[in-house]
């Protein structure tokens, strides 16, 4: 059995829940678009509106997750570049005199 760290397992479960919520909302909207509407207080129309609001909220969560992932990737890349150049000598450390 694969052992996941607690944080990774939590993120996998959270992502799965978000994907299932989005799929459920999308399926509900698609299957109930052609219903017999009872008027302004139609319960199906209210549920469709709620499902659309869920999808809007998940869209914002997805955009935030993309920005966070991008930030994590750029921070990791910056640290790796810094480690590559950290051991290189500088002109000052080599004692180079610049004549201006």
pLDDT tens digits, one per residue of 24-66? 888 888 888 888 888 888 888 888 888 888 888 888 888 888 8
Q: Is 99 part of any domain?
A: no
Say yes or no to pLDDT of 100 above 80.
no
Any idea which residue has 């000598």 for tokens? 89
Domain count along the chain? 1
In a domain, 65, yes or no: yes
1 inside domain: no
What range does the domain containing 63 cover?
6-94
Reported confidence tier of residue 76, pLDDT bands at 50, 70, 90: confident
- 3 vs 64: CA distance, rounded Å: 28
Contacts of 33 (CB under 8 A, 6+ apart): 48
Q: pLDDT digits over 1-20, tens only? A: 566 678 778 878 888 888 88
Would 75 be classed as within a structural domain? yes
Decide if 60 is inside a domain.
yes
> Residue 69's pLDDT band (boundaries 50, 70, 90)?
confident
In a domain? residue 100: no
């Amino acid at each position: 059995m694969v052992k996941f760290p607690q944080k990774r397992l939590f993120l996998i479960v959270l992502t799965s829940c978000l994907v299932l919520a989005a799929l459920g909302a999308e399926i509900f909207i698609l299957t109930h678009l052609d219903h017999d509407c009872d008027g302004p207080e139609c319960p199906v129309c209210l549920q469709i509106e709620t499902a659309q609001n869920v999808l809007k909220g998940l869209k914002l969560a997805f955009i935030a997750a993309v920005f966070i992932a991008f930030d994590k990737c750029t921070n990791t890349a910056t640290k790796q570049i810094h480690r590559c150049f950290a051991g290189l000598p500088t002109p000052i450390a080599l004692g180079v005199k610049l004549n201006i």
